């Protein structure tokens, strides 16, 4: 298949491009400033020229707190961008894959969210991502929507990189314990997206690594893995705290664990646990290089 990835410089896009190429697909990439999903002319020129079998939208506005002040920009990128891609994809006969988020839910459940659960974003970022889902499926009903959560990987800023930097610089670190979800390694998500595309799946699918964690649980596991590797840390105390200690412009859902039953049935493969995924990530990359990269997080 010929697969075009929008937002090709992003964290997931980097791993997805490698995964698709490894599986023998032709990978084409689009990224700003040459390719901009909010510019319909740019989208038409590129996709009509390439005529890919599949368009995967990895482009997104992901600054959750900034979105509260930049609502219009967030909706342009996360809401109108997918509409532009769906419009042109439908015109040239391409399938569309749109990457979405657990933040489309309000976090009031205490059991994993499945694909048919009512949505109810609690912040502008979640609202804009939900708008993208709705627009894509309205324009191209056969669109594949993949919701995921708490992403980390080698490319770009993320929680793991930030924590590695903090653990090396501070003796004590406070981490929120009352927000629960599931960390997801971009390599595992890339494999899931590739599998869904190859299977010709349509509609909404949830994917994250297995298991449940708070941000504190996530941080604690990072510490334990680093210690087992003999990594020198300045940290002496990792302290669980409540969300209210860190007031932020955008509220977060307190619980956003995703039910992956539909994915398992469609693909028939096991999903790695988040602890296993985290260990693979930390074992696969040079920690000193990651520490340096945390300055950009």
What's the CATH code of the domain at 198? 3.40.50.720
Catalytically annotated residue among 113, 125, 152, 263 = 125
Structure-token pair, residue 110: 């205490």
d(CA 170, CA 234): 6
Q: Considering the domain boundaries, does residue 62 fall inside one?
A: yes
In the chain the beta strands, taken as DSSP E runs, fall at: 2-6, 26-30, 54-57, 95-101, 144-148, 151-152, 172-176, 180-181, 184-185, 203-206, 213-214, 237-241
Would strands 151-152 and 144-148 be described as parallel, antiparallel, or unpaired?
unpaired
Q: Which domain holds residue 40?
A: 2-157+185-209+256-272
Q: Considering the domain boundaries, does residue 163 fall inside one?
A: no
Lowest mean pLDDT among 9-23, 121-135, 151-165, 280-294: 280-294
Q: Considering the domain boundaries, does residue 149 fall inside one?
A: yes
Active site residue 125: yes
Q: Considering the domain boundaries, does residue 225 fall inside one?
A: no
20 pLDDT more than 60: yes
Q: Considering the domain boundaries, does residue 201 fall inside one?
A: yes
The length of the chain in residues reads: 297
Exposure letters 149-180 (e unless 16+ CB within 10 A, then b): bbbbbbebebbbbebbbbbbeeeebbbbbbbb
* pTM for this model (two decimals): 0.96
Given pLDDT bands bounded at 50, 70 and 90, which one contains residue 287? confident
Q: Considering the domain boundaries, does residue 178 fall inside one?
A: no
Give pLDDT tens digits for 127-172. Answer: 999 999 999 999 999 999 999 999 999 988 999 999 999 998 999 9
Q: Considering the domain boundaries, does residue 14 fall inside one?
A: yes
Number of independent structural domains in the chain? 1
Q: Considering the domain boundaries, does residue 98 fall inside one?
A: yes
């Amino acid at each position: 298949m010929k697969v075009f990835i929008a937002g090709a410089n992003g964290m997931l896009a980097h791993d997805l491009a490698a995964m698709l190429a490894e599986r023998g697909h032709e990978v084409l990439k689009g990224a700003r400033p040459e390719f901009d999903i909010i510019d319909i002319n740019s989208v038409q020129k590129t996709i009509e020229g390439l005529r890919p079998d599949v368009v995967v939208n990895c482009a997104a506005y992901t600054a959750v707190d900034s979105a509260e002040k930049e609502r219009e920009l967030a909706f342009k990128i996360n809401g109108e961008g997918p509409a532009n891609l769906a419009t042109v994809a439908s015109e040239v006969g391409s399938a569309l894959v749109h990457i979405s988020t657990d933040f489309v839910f309000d976090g009031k459940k205490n059991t994993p969210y499945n694909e048919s659960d009512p949505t109810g974003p609690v912040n502008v970022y979640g609202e804009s991502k939900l708008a993208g889902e709705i627009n894509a499926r309205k324009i191209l009903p056969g669109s594949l929507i993949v919701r995921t959560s708490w992403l980390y990987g080698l490319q770009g800023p993320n929680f793991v990189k930030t924590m590695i930097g903090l653990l090396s610089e501070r003796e004590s670190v406070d981490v929120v314990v009352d927000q629960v979800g599931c960390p997801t390694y971009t390599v595992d998500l890339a494999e899931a997206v590739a599998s869904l595309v190859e299977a010709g799946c349509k509609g909404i699918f949830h994917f994250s690594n297995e298991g449940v964690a708070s941000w504190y649980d996530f941080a604690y596991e990072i510490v334990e893995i680093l210690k087992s590797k003999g990594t020198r840390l300045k940290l002496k105390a990792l302290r669980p705290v409540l969300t209210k200690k860190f007031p932020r412009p955008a509220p977060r859902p307190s619980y956003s664990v995703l039910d992956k039953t539909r994915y398992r049935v469609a693909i028939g493969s096991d999903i790695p646990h988040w602890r296993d995924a985290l260990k693979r990530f930390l074992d696969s990359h040079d920690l000193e290089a990651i520490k340096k990269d945390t300055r950009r997080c």
